[in-house]
Structure 1
Amino acid sequence: MTSITRLFDFPYYQQDKYTSIPDALVTKQNGVWVKTSTQEYIAKANSISRALLKLGVKKDDKIAIISSNNRTEWNILDIGVLQTGAQTVPIYPTISEDDYEYILNHSEATYCFVSDAEVLHKVNLIKDKVTHLKEVYSFNEIEGCKNWNELLKIGEDQSNQDEVEICKNNVKTTDLATIIYTSGTTGRPKGVMLSHQNIVSNVLDSASRIPFEAGKSRALSFLPICHIFERMILYLYQYYGVSVYFGEAIDKISDNLKEVQPTVITAVPRLLEKVYDKIYAKGSELTGIKKKLFFWAIDLGLRFEPYGANGAWYEFQLKIARKLIFSKWKEGLGGNLDLMVSGSAALQTRLARIFAAAEIPVMEGYGLTETSPVISVNDMRNHGFRVGTVGKVIDHVDVKIAEDGEILCKGPNVMIGYYKDEKLTNEVIVDGYFHTGDIGEFDQDGFLRITDRKKEMFKTSGGKYIAPQIIENTMKQSRFIDQIMVIGDGQKMPGAFIQPNFDFVKEWAAIHKINVGTTNEEIISNAHVIARIQEEIDTLNEKFGNWEKIKRFELTPDVWSVEGGQLTPTLKLKRKIVMQMYKPLFDKIYN
């Protein structure tokens, strides 16, 4: 059996353990799901390695990959590059041309692979300003651009396979494998250097927490593979012999779920919120006994506690709710989904409860790019799941809480450092412990709870600390509120910028025969809308101390998005940028 010490060992391990999985990697092309077996995956990766060596790629060269969707080619290229001793530099497709230019220059990338014409256009705009870039290849056929199939063709000549094997043997587990530029909420992206050991150890130390049926599970992958969360999960899928189907696009996920019928998906809380909102909206359209049953099941689900903690009568009712209502939810998600893994941001506890009640448990975990990424994760088995926490710390990782509440992490998963930035590296890694910037605590049973980001907490002028994420997560339970940012650093009370859920507001207005206008600007100015959102705020404010309550808010007409600049590619708030964008609203609240 292949021992796994470097990332390119995973496909070989998969072939050894599960022979050759016929649908190891599957991508939809021209309306047809095209399968790549483990054997073909390895063969093509070797072709890429041979071709790259013929192009003169050497150990420690940097190869950039910019893909607007997850696809088989990404994984083949990743393994092909790593086998040569070079490193991959995955780049978010949605960032600005300026950031493209910065990352390609900072990493000194020699080759760049793009997915499609749109990404190629952005690269071409800054190509002349990128010093080390020799050539751009595309996965799709694009006129005037070299295609990655040209490399596969060059690599058909196996005469230099011995050279590939020498390169592989020269790669140590402690060698750099990839540089991942964090999107960051401020300033220039930071290049996180992760070694083979960083990511391999994270896969192997997380593996025991994931209840896969080895060789028999099927995944749908749609979170950006350029983010370490989805990338690490893809290596984990290979370790467990999971068939991986790549989703076409976020707006096609519903269709893809029905086609693929996966047993597992990864998701971010924002996506799970949208799934729940859609289910809730459909339930609201029901009438009579069906509607009553739907909301009875919802109420039951929101009170869910694992391991029968609510008693026999609750479990009896839950059994009925699962048969009559929750089974339909599962059907809508493909019919076989029995596990969702969530990361990137805090999951609302109501979603953790409701999906677990529906027998589609969300395994919420915690980690950062700098920790490859998993630090802790929930596990439904053996009482390893607790609502409102991010689970227990994984094997071989040591976590302690600093005096100020910051979470510190030490282990084989902690990054080498930030690329070309020793000063910043030494600021965040002290005595072997990585300072996460997150505030958290352990409960008496060892479950980790994240309370906020250290840098995002602020004090009011009265000297009271405000933890904005907790308040924001609570307020987003309202169906009227799509996005919210709590403000008030140094001010007398907390306030908020709110982006309403415009679709829901329109539905609400139609039901109540209220004319709120047609444009977002008209909606946010409507007195009925403002009053109704004030009601929501007043109700949810009751969960907080008087100093934490949102006293004033302003609505924004923009739909907050990555493209709009309010969110990072992992859908976190860019707080400083949002503050700059809505400075007039800030002045309105506090002047």
Structure 2
Amino acid sequence: MARSVTDEVSDLSRLDRRATSVAHLFRDRVAQTPRGEAFRSPEGAGWTSLSWEQTRDRAYALAAGLVDVGLEPEERVSVMSSTRMEWILTDLAIMCAGGATTTIYPTTVEDDVAYIVADSGSRVVVAETPEHVEALRHRRAELPDVLAVVVLDGEGDGDWVLTFDELEARGTALLAAEPGLVDARIDQLTPQHLATIIYTSGTTGRPKGVRLTHDNWTYIGAAVDSIGILGPDDLQFLWLPLSHVLGKMFLILPMQMGFPTAVAGDVTKIVDNVAVVKPTFMAAAPRIFEKAYGKITTMVAAEGGVKAKLFDWAFGVGREVGEIRAGGGEPSGVLALKYRLADKLVLSKVRDRFGGRVRFFISGSAALNPDVARWFDAAGLTIIEGYGLTETTAPATVNRPDPQANVFGTVGWVLPGTQVRIAEDGEILVKGPGVMTGYHNQPEATAEVLQDGWFATGDIGTLDEQGYLTITDRKKDLFKTSGGKYVAPSHIESMFKGICPYASQLVIEGDGRKFVSAIITLDPDAITAWAAHHGMAGDSYAQIVSSPQCREMVQGYVDELNSQLNRWEQIKQFHILDHDLSVEEGDLTPSMKLKRKQVIQKYKSELDAFYAES
């Protein structure tokens, strides 16, 4: 029996005692645990660490460097970089200088970069590569407000472009003359000062800049702290893009609670790095969990024999134990003996792939398939799913690690201090200290989504009697077939990823059509391993996915999916692409969310052909 939100005991005093600003929060953390580890990051063949005191010294020098360049309070600094230690130091420096961080994904196209820098009124741009700098230089006439560009991996020009080291050196010199400069800037900050502008990666039109205050961020830190799921003894592994609200939120929590964070942004090395770092928790987009699930299960299935049978048996035992624990019990008798054996032979080895110390994972940004969550749970790797948007400063709701308070398929309970209600048309509305103040330079767009403090999320969902929120779909993604039946695409797409371990993406179409069709892509690693056992070793991805054997295999999984759907939701036709969808090609947002409308438009001819044939 799942627990109710009314059963939870939260330390609500933390909400009332939250810091004045992010910079105050950082300064307080340094005062509390100056020699405690703050961050570690890859360096050469190993990892190097910074204490909170060392982090402060570097952040203050960079903050003074920004002041020396000419940054005034609440003026913006754009940061365009992958996840790395310099990103974190820059963001802290901006906060301590009284400025506001504007985040830009390093993969953002030149037109959008120029738009974001100009629209935000950024005075400084911190860019990762010489290519980024050249793109800015090419648009310099459109960016009259930019005083300087700071490059992380490149050379300065003695004029407009500074290196990161040069910025830090200028700040160090200024602090030698005015040692109280940065603390004075921090002292001037109030909760309602602008801290961040995050431009949504939206699926159409120009991105909108979400304005988040210091109070938005410190509230989120205090609210997560109040529910007691994390503490100073935890170790975070952080790979998320820091230009995304979820990644940025995971820079606030260490300052709130004092735990260290290992930072490494290379997505291809997540599992390898986790095995070395041995974190106690990590946040990720569902695609990361889906890939791990697919890779492990398909690898074992391909080996077959006794090993595959043992693996399936062990996970069956793990699921049985998970169900008992969700009901408040513990395995006993024969089941307890079977579980100890299953854990020793199989389940513990899966946990060891993730370092062996993970207490739980956090999934956000898109819907996680419940079957994937149950598979991880069976291995003793709990995934708690949360829900929020850039406009709510990341989480508005989250499940809890307690088996009785983690209901698969839901996004959990509302955070203390936040309210959630369902409008008459099913739209989820959110109110609370985490809700943005508005969209930058867009009062009309702000008025459309903010009414009396309630933010209209654009998502459709339900709240059950125990307080668990379930997301049905994006309001704008729901479509109606020509027969008048509504279809919720993301729900079906998530279901398929739990059924087919080879799946990468499923994109369904059927708006105004007689039936539902789909574009399917397969995970390159998983399908290559499959092909090696089906007489296609060495074949290219395109050759594999276009083969009759692959088509037959995928059809089997589509049939399994259809058996769980209403007749009007079932996929009657599908096309397997000869390549996967990607961020680089504009099919996915940098946080790995599907840009459904773009993908459907991109492959319109393939989809139209299904209906022409019918």
- Taking the aligned partners of 1:417 and 1:200, their CA distance within structure 2 comes to 18
> Structure 2: which amino acid aligns with 1:252?
K
Report deviation, 1:516: 9.6
Aligned-pair CA distance for 1:351 = 1.9
Q: After superposition, what is the alpha-carbon deviation per residue over 1:453-494, rounded to whole angstroms, capped at 9, x for unaligned? A: 110001011110000011101112202322111101011111
Matched to 1:84, the amino acid is A
In structure 1, what is the Cα distance between the partners aligned to 2:228 and 2:70? 40
Corresponding position of 1:532:
553
Alignment partners' CA distance in 1, 2:509 and 2:335? 40
Aligned length: 587
1:558 shift after superposition? 2.4
Alignment-derived partner of residue 9 in structure 1: 24
Instruction: Give the C-alpha shift of residue 143 in structure 1.
Output: 6.1
What is the 5 A alignment of 1:361-440?
Answer: 361-381=382-402, 383-440=404-461
Name the structure, 1 or 2, with higher relative contact order (CA <8 Å, separation 6+): 2
Q: Give the counterpart letter for 1:53 in structure 2.
A: V
Distance across 1 between alignment mates of 2:445 and 2:215: 22
Q: Is residue 2:610 matched to residue 1:589? A: yes
Q: Residue in 2 aligned with 1:205?
A: 223
1:545 to 549, 552, 566: 566
Write the letter of the residue equivalent to 1:488.
G
User: 1:539 deviation in Å?
Assistant: 1.3
Q: 2 CA distance for matches of 1:241 and 1:227?
A: 22
The residue identity in structure 2 corresponding to 1:4 is A
> Secondary structure, in 3 states, of the residue corresponding to 2:230?
coil
The yes-or-no answer on 1:115 pairing with 2:115 is no
CA contact (8 A) 1:15 1:38 kept: yes
Q: Does the CA-based 8 Å contact 1:438-1:450 persist in structure 2?
A: yes
1:20 is aligned with what amino acid?
A: R
User: Equivalent residues in 2 for 1:208-357 (5 A)?
Assistant: 208-209=226-227, 211-214=229-232, 216-286=233-303, 288-302=305-319, 304-305=322-323, 307-309=325-327, 312=332, 317-357=338-378
Q: Which amino acid aligns with 1:587?
A: D
Alpha carbons of 1:284 and 1:67: their partners in 2 closer, same or farther (altered >3 Å)? same
Q: d(CA) in 2 for partners of 1:316 and 1:184?
A: 51
Q: Note the C-alpha offset of 1:47.
A: 1.6
- Which one is further off, 447-456 or 36-45? 36-45
Structure 2 contact 280–360 (Cα < 8 Å) conserved: yes
Distance across 2 between alignment mates of 1:108 and 1:347: 37
CA distance in 2, matches of 1:524, 1:355: 28
In structure 2, give the amino acid aligned to 1:146.
L
Rounded Cα–Cα distance in structure 2 between residues aligned with 1:27 and 1:127: 33
Superimposed CA distance per residue, residues 338-359 of structure 1 (whole angstroms, 9 cap, x where no aligned partner): 2211110111111211222222
1:464 matched to which residue of 2? Answer: 485
How far apart are the structure 2 equivalents of 1:404 and 1:446? 19
C-alpha spacing 1:168/1:507, structure 2 compared with 1 (3 Å): closer
Q: Tell me if 1:149 matches 2:162.
A: no
| 2:105 counterpart of 1:105 | no
CA spacing shift, 1:579–1:245, aligned 2, 3 Å? same
CA contact under 8 A between 2:62 and 2:171: conserved in structure 1? Answer: yes
CA distance in 2, matches of 1:516, 1:152: 52
Contact 1:65 1:90 in 2 (8 A): yes
Give the Cα–Cα distance (whole angstroms) in 1 for the partners of residues 148 and 456 of structure 2.
38
Residue of structure 1 in register with 2:476 after alignment: 455
Instruction: Please point out which of 34, 54, 79 is paired with 1:40.
Output: 54
- On the 8 A contact 2:326/2:403 being kept in 1, the answer is no
Asked if structure 2 preserves the Cα contact closer than 8 Å seen for 1:50 and 1:160, the reply is no
CA shift, 1:282, in A, is 3.3
> CA distance change for structure 1 residues 133 and 143 in 2, over 3 Å: closer, same or farther?
closer
Residues 516 and 522 in structure 1, CA contact (< 8 A), matched pair in contact too = no
Counterpart CA distance in 2 for 1:64 and 1:554 is 41
Query: Counterpart of 2:145?
Result: 132
Q: Per-residue deviation at 1:306?
A: 6.0
How has the CA–CA distance of structure 1 residues 544 and 261 changed in structure 2, closer, same or farther, with 3 Å as cutoff? same
- TM-score, structure 1 as length reference: 0.94
Consecutive unaligned residues in structure 2, runs of 5 or more: 1-13
Q: Does the C-alpha gap of structure 1 residues 155 and 143 become closer, same or farther in structure 2, counting only changes over 3 Å?
A: closer
Instruction: Tell me how far 1:128 sits from its aligned partner.
Output: 4.1
Query: 1:167 aligned to 178, 185, 190, which one?
Result: 185
User: Residue 49 and residue 509 in structure 1: after superposition, are their counterparts in 2 closer, same or farther (change >3 A)?
Assistant: closer
* Structure 2 residue identity aligned to 1:90: T
Letter in 1 for 2:469: L
CA deviation map 1:109-148 (0-9, x unaligned): 1111122334334434434432322221122353645212
Match of 1:84 in 2: 97
Cα deviation, 1:538-562, whole Å, max 9, x if unaligned, reads 1111111111111111121221000
Judge conservation of contact 1:14–1:20 (CA < 8 Å) in 2.
Answer: no
- Could you say what secondary structure the match of 1:366 adopts? strand
Give, as a single letter, the amino acid of the residue that structure 2 aligns with 1:200.
Answer: T
**Take 2:538 and 2:562, find their aligned partners in 1: how far apart are those partners?**
28
Change (3 A) 1:112 1:566: same
Which whole-Å deviations, capped at 9, do the CAs of 1:417-474 have from their partners, x for residues lacking one? Answer: 0000000000001121000011111122111111111100010111100000111011
Give the Cα–Cα distance (whole angstroms) in 2 for the partners of residues 480 and 257 of structure 1: 23
Query: Unpaired runs of 5+ in structure 1?
Result: none
Alpha-carbon distance between aligned partners in 1 of 2:574 and 2:513, rounded to the nearest angstrom: 14
Aligned AA (2:116): I
Task: Give the match's secondary structure for 1:24.
Answer: strand
Asked if 2 retains the 8 angstrom alpha-carbon contact of 1:306 and 1:385, the reply is no
**Structure 2 counterparts to residues 570-581 of structure 1, below 5 A:** 570-581=591-602
SS in 2 for 1:89: strand
Check whether the contact 2:277–2:355 (CA below 8 A) recurs between aligned residues.
Answer: yes
For 2:32 and 2:526, how far apart are their aligned partners in 1?
A: 49
For residues 493-523 of structure 1, what are the alpha-carbon distances to aligned partners after superposition, in whole Å with 9 as ceiling and x for unaligned? 111111133443343344233x599344444
Aligned partner letter, 2:119: H
Distance 2:441 2:137 in 1: 26
Classify the secondary structure of the residue corresponding to 2:21. coil
TM-score scaled to structure 2, two decimals? 0.91
Distance 1:49 1:248, change over 3 A: closer
Q: Give the structure 1 partner of residue 77 of structure 2.
A: 63
Q: CA deviation at 1:187?
A: 1.3
Aligned position for 1:476: 497
Single out whichever of 158-167 and 269-278 deviates more from structure 2. Answer: 158-167
Q: Is the 8 A contact 1:62 1:88 kept in 2?
A: yes
- 1:382–1:261 Cα change, 3 Å: closer
* Rounded Cα–Cα distance in structure 2 between residues aligned with 1:519 and 1:402: 49
Q: 1:349 to 1:452 in 2, by over 3 A?
A: same
Q: CA deviation at 1:301?
A: 4.1
Give the superposition deviation at 1:529: 2.3
Code of the aligned partner of 2:72:
K
1:123 maps to a residue whose letter is L
Specify whether residues 426 and 583 from structure 1 end up closer, same or farther in structure 2 by C-alpha distance, changes over 3 A only: same
Between the aligned residues of both structures, percent identity stands at 35
Match of 1:490 among 506, 512, 533: 512
* 2:577 aligned residue (541, 552, 556): 556
